[in-house]
Chains A and B, each alone.
Chain A
Amino acid sequence: MTQNDFYVLLPVITLTIWATLLLLVDLFIPRERKGLTALLAAIGLTLTLFISLSQFGQQATAFNNMVVLDGFSVFLTALFLLIGLLGVTVAYSYIKRMGLERGEYYALLLFSVIGMILMAQASDLIVTFIALELLSIPLYVLAAIAYPKTDSEEAGIKYFLLGSFATGFIVYGIALIFGATGTTSLAGIITAIGVQTANLGLLLIGAGLLLVGFGFKVGAVPFHMWTPDVYQGTPTSVTAFMAAGAKVAGFAALLRVFALAFPLLAPQLAPVLIILSALSMLVGNLVAIAQTDIKRMLAYSSIAQAGYILMAFVPFGNANVQNLSISAALFYLVAYTLTSFGAWGITIALEKTDGQGLKIDDYAGLGRKHPLLAVAMTIFMLSLTGLPPTLGLVGKIYLFRAVMAGGYYYLAVLGVLTSLISAYYYLRVVVKMYMQDGDPQVTRETWLDLTIGAMAVLTVIVSFVPAPLFDWASRAVLALF
């Protein structure tokens, strides 16, 4: 292990040590003071965030090309650490209130973040696989952490079974790719295709299987079946973390592997991506209309959002558009993370300890009783729809630009039409909050309020000054070694 190897993986290493120590330290923290664990977890994440940001602009590879450090990985690492931090702040009082407060909650969350970071840095399919497992297994446990609540157990088991199934696809895909090219390294695959020693048929099947696996992770139709049930049954603070984290991580792997290794397979893969994205946008948005439970509605909404990002990724084989596709996707993932955490934060605020307060009907009267929360929720709903003045609009425009630059106009038209459908169910929440009377029961907690407030402010402010984030996302290019 050289110094360079160490440097490339510095965020992962720091956070791993921190998380391991946290597990030990937590043993000595008394039950009624688990807030300290949350604080320590947050400190670890912040520290790692600074380390990661200090690596901005560097490019390096380590461990014999197994992991890389590039603009893409730094961008996503920072995003994952932010997701981790938000995961801690929304969980802090919620798990206390729900009686779930165990020290391992935060340690598991940190381990999952480590998996996500590794996912963004992986440049070898074996590492991608390890990262995927590292991020998923803690999430399976977290989903079931509310045992003996059957909902939570069911969500955990479902997520675990279907997640393992998807991992099976990925492993099989990796095996076939190895069979076709004799290597699992992305650089090696490119070389093998370049010198025409690869068995393209086999490679294509392998890539297809990878797409199935990643499609599952990002919740794209038709691999989305688990999403509503798992999102609903899982404790909401975990759902918030999972909805952003697992999705962004899935896209991290999808973007890197496909954009780097498989541009030559684009003629065959693009139609598949088109179908996945079109189905996700349609099914996600249409089924969301029928939901009465906010968690299920947000779950279907997240399926649709995955569809929009996939849409921008369709022209990934076009060398002129590829960078635009990737930066649009990255930008939108940030917008999605901020908005989604905000919306889930409000869901947490309205959820009662007995599991009530999760119907959309329970939002009636929120505009009167808690005007600030209602304003925030309105901002999030506008952002998810893609309306000004929110980041969601700017992000969506970026996505549409990418897909149009690739020449897929009909997909862009489908994208805007499904956005229109989505306006219907997002507006319904706003209608409930402002135009119907009710008596919503809300738990106000400092950290949760701060998180929601920060997300709302950022969603609006960054939409007015998106240039720095645009710039950063556009420079977050993939490096190849």
Chain B
Amino acid sequence: MNFLFEPLTIVTFFPLLGVLALLLINSEQKTAIRWTALVTALLAFVISLWAFFFSGQYDVAAPGLQLVAKYDWITVAGWNIRYYLAADGLSILLVLLTTFLTPIAILSTWTAIEERVKDFMIFFLMLEIGMTGVFLSQDLFLFYIFWEFTLVPMYFLIGIWGGPRRMYAAVKFFLYTMAGSILMLLAILWLGINLDTFAVPELIGKVPAAAQMLLFVAFTAAFAIKVPMWPLHSWLPDAHVEAPTAGSVILAGVLLKMGTYGFLRFNLPLFPEASIQAAPVIGALAVIGIIYGAAVSYAQKDVKKLVAYSSVSHLGFVMLGMFAMNSLGIQGAILQMINHGLSTGALFLLVGMIYEQTHTRELAVYGGLWKIMPVYGALTLIVTLSSMGLPGLNGFVGEFTILLGAWGAGSGSYGSVWFAALSAIGVILAAIYMLYMFQKMFLGPAGEITKHHPLHDLNWREIATLLPLLVFIFWIGLYPKPFFDLMSPTVDELVKLLSAAALR
């Protein structure tokens, strides 16, 4: 039973204790339920910080997997499946993002979720377990189980607490994601059968070049839908618009990152030759996504949909940086994953806060909000600027590094200079749709809602929800070095692996 006391087991499964505690609470005691969930999520965050920074077992400067928990799980009958959790620079950033956003999302439901609070919190904590597990699993089989498992609570979160078309959105979300992941399952099985292990570190460098392309495609099917890459994004706006605010925050903040994480963790190291071959295609799709997402955002009349489509554009940047396959591109991509989680998470929170008061997200009915809600206006402005990549805020650092990386990768046959140039247009478009949104809502003459609806500015709880996000928005914007330091050993290793493959 040693595996139970491994730091990463505790990091992953700690929220289960909260679930058990919640099961014991009477579902009428909503305050107790909310506090239990919040405290659990906060403790989970503290535990993840402890494991990575204060336990003395994780060396930030060292490359490779650390805090390894590796135990035989199913090693009978020709199976070779392990319970294998470990972390490196890529994992810890995303795990921390997960444990950081979860309490914030829970705090945002304080007054927004009144129906079946207990069920909501249980699903939410289960979702956290699934997401953390995805980022820490180093065994493909274990990974697949966590990966598919995240579908279930998210499906309920959208389907029970969502908007009017929630059932349609929930089922669409489920089927779309599952469609990709079942192909990945076959690829995982192929690896497990032919190479006799499911452990990712043992598989690196072992996958025969001839088989790589098909496997790459199968894994890409799963991850590209999750990211989502154009043209597989159509589930995203539906899911986002119908999901409750906290669901949207986690969906945009963490669940989409599972897709980009998958590319980095599995596609690039396991199938480097195929990745290099496919890079121009992925790059092109990423650029289309960047511009398409931005253009469609601008056309939206619903604020939440606008933010949702902006995710397609932002995640396009992540994909572009990743498939530049150099140190700058990949570091920028990872940082942009975090940035998007913070900024878009904050945007969804902000949209949720106004929606809770007015029950509408139509851009047209707002206008002149700043006068009535100055704090809300100021905070929204910061987040908007961060999302469109204003220097000094986090978005700029990520996008700029990605563009540098994409530009620098242009030496080969792969025309990423053009990709960089085209996607720079995306940065401009982002400024357009973001400022358009801000102007429609906050500036100008007072709209219908602003005139006739009693509105109050943000209360302390709402500010407290946003504040931690703002801290990081400024921190990454002004001094991103600690974040780059965390990921660089891992990224260097990956780049070495990729450039070795490029020479073959």
Contact = CB atoms under 8 A, between A and B. Distances in A.
A404 B145 contact: no
B148 A427 contact: no
B159 A473 contact: no
A239 to B, nearest CB: 28
The B interface, classified by DSSP as helix, strand, loop or mixed, is: helix
Interface string A389-412: 100010001001100110001001
A393 B181 CA distance: 13
Nearest to B171: A427
A416 B77 contact: no
Contact of B145 (A393, A413, A427): A393
A420 interface: yes
Interface string A352-385: 0000000000000001100100000000001000
Contacts of B166: 435
Contacts of B79: 470
Given A388-B149, A397-B189, A400-B189, A435 B78 contact: no
A387 interface: yes
A423 B193 contact: no
Nearest to B158: A435
A412 to B, nearest CB: 6
Interface stretch (B68-76, B251-259, B282-290): B68-76
B192 interface: yes
A450 B74 CA distance: 29
B174 A417 contact: no
B182 A416 contact: yes
B182 A405 contact: no
A481 interface: no
A434 interface: yes
B178 A389 contact: no
Contact of B175 (A393, A397, A413, A423): A423
B41 to A, nearest CB: 21
Interface residues of A, number: 35
A400 B185 contact: yes
B77 to A, nearest CB: 3
A382 B185 CA distance: 16
A61 interface: no
A431 B159 contact: yes
Contacts of A405: 193
Nearest to B74: A467
B167 A431 contact: yes
B177 to A, nearest CB: 10
B207 interface: no
B174 to A, nearest CB: 6
Contacts of A427: 155, 171, 174-175
B170 interface: yes
A327 interface: yes
Given A382-B152, A404-B186, A327 B77 contact: yes
Nearest to A473: B77
A368 B160 CA distance: 11
B73 A393 contact: no
A340 interface: no
Contact of B152 (A387, A400, A416): A387
Contact of B178 (A420, A436, A470): A420
B148 A393 contact: yes
Interface string B5-39: 00000000000000000000000000000000000
A424 B175 contact: yes
B179 interface: yes
B183 interface: yes
A262 to B, nearest CB: 24
Contacts of A424: 171, 175
Interface in A424-477: 424, 427, 431, 434-436, 466-467, 470-471, 473-474
A324 interface: yes
B156 A404 contact: no
B160 to A, nearest CB: 5
B76 A474 contact: yes
Contacts of A367: 160
A128 interface: no
A419 interface: yes
Please tell me the size bucket of the interface on B. 35 or more
A400 B186 contact: yes
A479 B248 CA distance: 57
A417 B152 contact: no
Contacts of B159: 431, 434-435
Nearest to A431: B167
A388 B145 contact: yes
B160 A434 contact: yes
A416 B160 contact: no
B28 to A, nearest CB: 14
Contact of B167 (A387, A420, A435, A474): A435
A300 B9 CA distance: 40
A405 B78 CA distance: 12
A400 B189 CA distance: 8
Given A327-B77, A388-B149, A404-B193, A412 B175 contact: no
A470 B185 contact: no
Contacts of B183: 413, 416
Contacts of B189: 397, 400-401, 404, 412
Contact of A416 (B145, B146, B186): B186
B151 A387 contact: yes
A197 B149 CA distance: 55
B190 interface: yes
A372 to B, nearest CB: 11
Contact of A434 (B141, B156, B178): B156
A470 B74 contact: yes
Contact of A420 (B76, B160, B182): B182
B432 to A, nearest CB: 38
A85 to B, nearest CB: 26
A477 B395 CA distance: 60
Interface in B128-187: 141, 145-146, 148-149, 151-152, 155-156, 159-160, 166-167, 170-171, 174-175, 178-179, 182-183, 185-186
A367 B120 CA distance: 13
Interface string A253-264: 000000000000
Nearest to A389: B149
Nearest to A416: B182
Contacts of B152: 382, 387-388
B78 A412 contact: no
Contacts of A324: 78
B229 to A, nearest CB: 19
B77 A474 contact: yes
Interface string A303-344: 000000000000000000000100100000000000000000
Given A382-B152, A431-B171, A389 B78 contact: no
Chain B CB within 10 Å — which of A327, A367, A400, A419 has the most? A400
Nearest to A368: B116
Contacts of A393: 145, 148
A245 B77 CA distance: 26
Given A387-B152, A393-B148, A419-B182, A467 B75 contact: yes
A413 B185 CA distance: 10
Contacts of B179: 420
Interface string B372-408: 0000000000000000000000000000000000000
Nearest to A387: B148
8 contacts: A401-B193, A409-B186, A420-B179, A424-B171, A427-B174, A427-B175, A431-B167, A467-B73
Interface of A: 324, 327, 367-368, 371, 382, 387-389, 393, 397, 400-401, 404-405, 409, 412-413, 416-417, 419-420, 423-424, 427, 431, 434-436, 466-467, 470-471, 473-474
| Interface pairs A-B: 9 shortest CB-CB | A474-B77, A416-B182, A471-B76, A388-B145, A388-B149, A470-B77, A435-B159, A467-B74, A388-B148
Given A388-B148, A401-B189, A420-B179, 16 more contacts: A368-B116, A389-B149, A397-B141, A404-B189, A404-B193, A409-B186, A413-B183, A416-B182, A420-B175, A423-B175, A423-B178, A427-B155, A427-B175, A435-B167, A467-B76, A474-B77
